[in-house]
Amino acid sequence: VDTLRRIETNLRERGDADALLASDLKKAARDRLFGFELIPAPFVIAHLQMGLLLARGGAPLGEHERAAIFLTNALTGWEPPAAERAPLLFSELEAEREAAEEVKRFKPVLVILGNPPYNGYAGLAVDEERDLSEAYRARRPGLPAPQGQGLNDLYVRFFRMAERRIAESPPGRGIVSFISNYSWLDGLSHPTMRAKFLEGFDQVWIDCLNGDKYKTGKLTPDGKPDPSAFSTEANREGIQVGTAITTLVRGGEPVRSVAKFRHFWGKEKRMDLLASAEPFDVAAYEVLISPKALGLPFVPLSLRNAYLTWPRLPEILPTNFPGVQTSRDNFLVDIDRSALERRITEYFDNALSDDDIARRYPSIMEPASRFDAKAIRNELKRRGFGVGSFVRFCYRPFDVRWLYWDPDTKLLNEKRTEYFGQVFTGNFWLFTTGRTRKEVPEPAIVTARFADLNLLDSGSRGLPLLIRDAAILNGAPGEPSPNLSPSALAYLAKLDAPADSLFFHAVATLHAPTYRTENAGALRQDWPRVPLPADRDALLASAALGRRVAALLDPETPVPTVTSGKLEAAWQRVGLLTRVGGGALDPAADLAVTAGWGHFGQGGSVMPGRGRLGLHHDPDGGPAADPDGAPPLPGLDSYRVFLNERACWDGVPTAVWDYTLGGYPVLKKWLSYREQAVLGRALRPEEAREFTAIARRIAALLALGGELDASYHACAAAAG
């Protein structure tokens, strides 16, 4: 309908006589403008809207006239069927299919536009639709191989249909313009798709409308609301995923093109977009630099000039493992070992029936994909639970718990047996990911414990410092070897540097704030790359910083002056457990977390709550600021984080409270699991002190930022 209105405007601006305008519009609606719709209700509404528009324009459709809107699958019917098709239920549907396929096969199509459906769970395409997605699955020389399931999304098939019709069919010219999910712009599944667009079209224009729940939290870069382009007064947030308008232009034989890009943000993005159309300003677009090594991303990238010459992390530390996935956390994982042991003992007790266990612990008896709850319990009761292990488990950042690990069955959805054997005293693990959806990627997590797949919200991969070979894992004597590639070993030998220095140098580099901001675009696409300085002193200084970072990240490693021994004065003021109004706390009565930090959600998952914060200097929130007026860290305001009406942790710097790691707000996430309604009890004194220690560790990490940046700059400048 809007396209027909645009045609009407064009004819009026061209000075066409009003007497002929109505017939021109009817001819356009019947013979030039084609609509394809699969679902009957919007198909009927489209005909109604088009008929009303023509009637208002003085050219109503006659009794046997229709607008060229067809009830059809837009993705199929472009080629003659390979075999005889089954007849449709009604002859009218047969006639509709034939009319639509007449357009698809014989009408010259110059423009394809629309809002194709996006559904990441549409599943694998079949028959003719399968051919559409296959074209983007092949790996191209110099490009990363497509990864993941992104090519199964419906909108991808529509792009391929349109590309094939415009770029690969006569007359070999035309325009495609779609608004769609914008995940393909930099998705790991889509490098071949992007390459084909650059090869098949003269021009690629991207109007990025943002509004994404997952990548930006529907916030603009300056923190203001950024609803989707489909937001309305009745539905303020619109849809969850971000969107972009992609316009592909082919004027003839194309030369390899570049993509041009511009952002639209905020509540007025639709009006801003419309206002930008006339007059059209080419200078408003940024010409994208899209490195092949990163998969030709169609988004602006920030990266240091030399970044792509540095080795990727797996090229230094070649062995890595994904984290454990229990899929049954609330039974197999616990803050209290005694509570976990009690559950496991009952689970293995032959005197308790499956129904008894289901009543006490419903989640462990619910069947799921690859998990036959009753069969697995029968097998484990027969075997006995002594084969399994109670192990320390890095569940979330700064949150180490207990896990019951079973080596034989699908009690854990992904038990990672090969990874389990590599967790031993003296071994450290650097957990990061091959890509992230965060605008500014977060630093890696270092732990010495077995770790959860969701330690990072985008899926964690652990790269160990040391590796045991198969013989040692099977009981043969021997020492583990450094997890280093041959080229990394040669590099260390040339500098005469210790074997562990590269691991901790990587830790320091990934925690340098400047490294993450200036290379954010590349870090969103691929594994981190690490500069290898030709200067031995620069490497060793960076590694020393990395060891300090690693100690601060592990809540079970004491850090002198920060969490143990005589603390520096700055850390003494951070996160002090305080009684509101002054006086002493009663551990038996005052340590229950009831301020609303967490609750159980659907399926037993723990959801964060709003809780209660007060400014450090807020008289309604408790004690005033320290007498000297100094905040816990220079230049930072601080919060008072309430457990309940009687107790709070005072002097938590705002930057510490806002600190995220692995995609989680660390302190708020920790608290959500300790809400009394979730934990089932009040905090113990040592757990209340643990919150204080975590806040101090984070404050110390933030305070290291300047040293980490200086070290990163020195290593990058000296990188070979």
Question: Tens of pLDDT along 469-495?
Answer: 877 777 777 889 999 999 999 999 999
The whole-number pLDDT of residue 125 equals 60
Exposure b/e, 27-65, CB count within 10 A at least 16 = b:
ebbbeebbbbbeeeeebeebbebbbebbeebebebeeee
Residue whose C-alpha is closest to residue 302's, from 423, 402, 221: 221
The whole-number pLDDT of residue 716 equals 96
| Cβ-based neighbour number of residue 698 at 10 Å | 26
Strand, helix or coil for residue 561: coil
Q: Which residue has the higher pLDDT, 693 or 305?
A: 693
Whether the predicted pLDDT of 626 surpasses 50: no
- State the Cα–Cα distance between residues 52 and 555, nearest whole angstrom: 68
Whether the predicted pLDDT of 308 surpasses 90: yes
Whether the predicted pLDDT of 331 surpasses 50: yes
The whole-number pLDDT of residue 171 equals 87
The fraction of the chain above a pLDDT of 70, given in percent, is 95
Single pTM value for the model: 0.84
The whole-number pLDDT of residue 23 equals 87
Question: Tens of pLDDT along 106-124?
Answer: 998 999 999 999 886 666 5
The whole-number pLDDT of residue 93 equals 87
Number of H helices, E strands in the chain: 26, 26
The fraction of the chain above a pLDDT of 90, given in percent, is 73
Name which of 15-19, 57-61, 643-647, 658-662 the model is least confident about: 15-19
The whole-number pLDDT of residue 126 equals 63
Rounded to the nearest 10 degrees, the angle between the axes of helix 501-511 and helix 486-495 is 100
Whether the predicted pLDDT of 278 surpasses 90: no
Average pLDDT over residues 119-138: 76
- State the Cα–Cα distance between residues 609 and 313, nearest whole angstrom: 37
Contact 177, 247 (CB under 8 A): yes
Residue whose C-alpha is closest to residue 399's, from 671, 48, 77: 671
Question: Tens of pLDDT along 667-678?
Answer: 999 999 999 999
Average pLDDT, rounded, for the chain: 90
The whole-number pLDDT of residue 124 equals 57
- State the Cα–Cα distance between residues 345 and 365, nearest whole angstrom: 15
The whole-number pLDDT of residue 616 equals 65
Contact 268, 227 (CB under 8 A): no
Tokens at residue 420, please?
A: 């389990």
Tokens at residue 667, please?
A: 């302190």
Strand, helix or coil for residue 682: coil
Question: Tens of pLDDT along 585-610?
Answer: 999 899 999 999 999 988 788 999 99
- State the Cα–Cα distance between residues 687 and 587, nearest whole angstrom: 11
Q: Which residue has the higher pLDDT, 118 or 648?
A: 648
Element (H, E) at 112: strand 111-114
Q: What is the dihedral of CA 493, 498, 503, 504, to 10 degrees?
A: -140
Whether the predicted pLDDT of 628 surpasses 50: no
Average pLDDT over residues 240-244: 94
Question: Tens of pLDDT along 679-693?
Answer: 999 999 999 999 999
Confidence bin at 84 (pLDDT 50/70/90):
confident
The whole-number pLDDT of residue 706 equals 96
| Cβ-based neighbour number of residue 434 at 10 Å | 18
Whether the predicted pLDDT of 696 surpasses 60: yes
Question: Tens of pLDDT along 354-403?
Answer: 999 999 999 999 999 899 999 999 999 999 888 899 999 999 999 999 99
Whether the predicted pLDDT of 619 surpasses 70: no
The whole-number pLDDT of residue 574 equals 93
Q: Which of the residue ranges 25-29, 135-139, 506-510 has the most confident prediction, judged by mean pLDDT?
A: 506-510
Residue 374: φ, ψ to 5°? -70, -40
Whether the predicted pLDDT of 630 surpasses 50: no
Whether the predicted pLDDT of 458 surpasses 80: no
